[in-house]
Amino acid sequence: MHTLADLRAGKLAGIKRLDLSCGLSEFPVEIFDLADTLEVLNLSGNRLTSLPDDLCRLTRLRVLFVSDNAFTHLPESIGQCPQLQIVGLKANRIEQVSAAALPPRLRWLILTDNRIESLPDELGRRPDLQKLMLAGNRLRTLPATLAQCHKLELIRIAANRLTELPDWLLSLPALAWLAFADNPLCAERPTAPIREIPWQHLSLHQRLGEGASGIIQQAVWHDAGAERMAAVKLYKGAVTSDGSPLNEMAACIAAGRPAGFGAGMAA
């Protein structure tokens, strides 16, 4: 993580990636001094509500992360950045997304955990679009123009207000991942009761892996004097890329365990 003091002192000249998370309420104009080299800008975890109108001065910018801030709309200046391909504004307060806010070379759009009720048709006119992460919003429909996005391979729309899935989803040639749990279209299925394990009966050890929704750690379960090896998933938040952790846990419980696999546990 970089510091604002180093940025203002000119000590970051020539860098390609800038990470600033220091309670910013305004965009530091000194960032423009890095325009000749800056490709990745991460301003997540601040208090920003806007971006400068001339953001396009960062002519080499390819990746922009501004998650965990206080935006209420997707800034239209983002759409003016000619090389911008990945845009992430997760966990803001975004209610509006205008067509003008979508950069022409957009490949990934990450708007998880916001308040978006609708998306512009222009989104389907981004031919390079590959990943669309929209879980935890208020969407009731998806733009029909997305049927034209033949490179679209991942769509995450869990925890919205969708009552049906559009037919064109099945016609997307590259689609490999679709997550839509916790929408009105999903009927709840009863599951068999599962034993709850007190947290104090688990001891966590090394990390085994990490995904979009959480971290998997090796654990030992202390069960009635016996010790059993286990894997425990620690979720990153109440809303993840695939919706609520409760939906993922319910799916795992409903699927059961493969033959020869250890007993499934819930902490």
N- to C-terminal Cα separation, the chain: 33
CA angle 36, 41, 44 (to 5 degrees): 160
Judge whether 84 and 78 are in contact, CB under 8 Å.
Answer: yes
Which of these, 45, 44, 36, lies nearest to 65 by C-alpha position? Answer: 44
Distance separating alpha carbons of residues 173 and 153, to the nearest angstrom: 8
Judge whether 92 and 69 are in contact, CB under 8 Å.
Answer: yes
Question: Is residue 90 annotated as involved in ligand binding?
Answer: no
Distance separating alpha carbons of residues 50 and 27, to the nearest angstrom: 8
The strand order across the sheet containing 226-235 reads 202-210, 214-223, 226-235
Question: 194: which 2 tokens?
Answer: 């599962």
DSSP 12-65: TTT-SEEE--S--SS--GGGGGGTTT--EEE--SS------TTGGG-TT--EEE
Question: 142: which 2 tokens?
Answer: 């998806």
- Annotated binding-site positions for ATP: 233
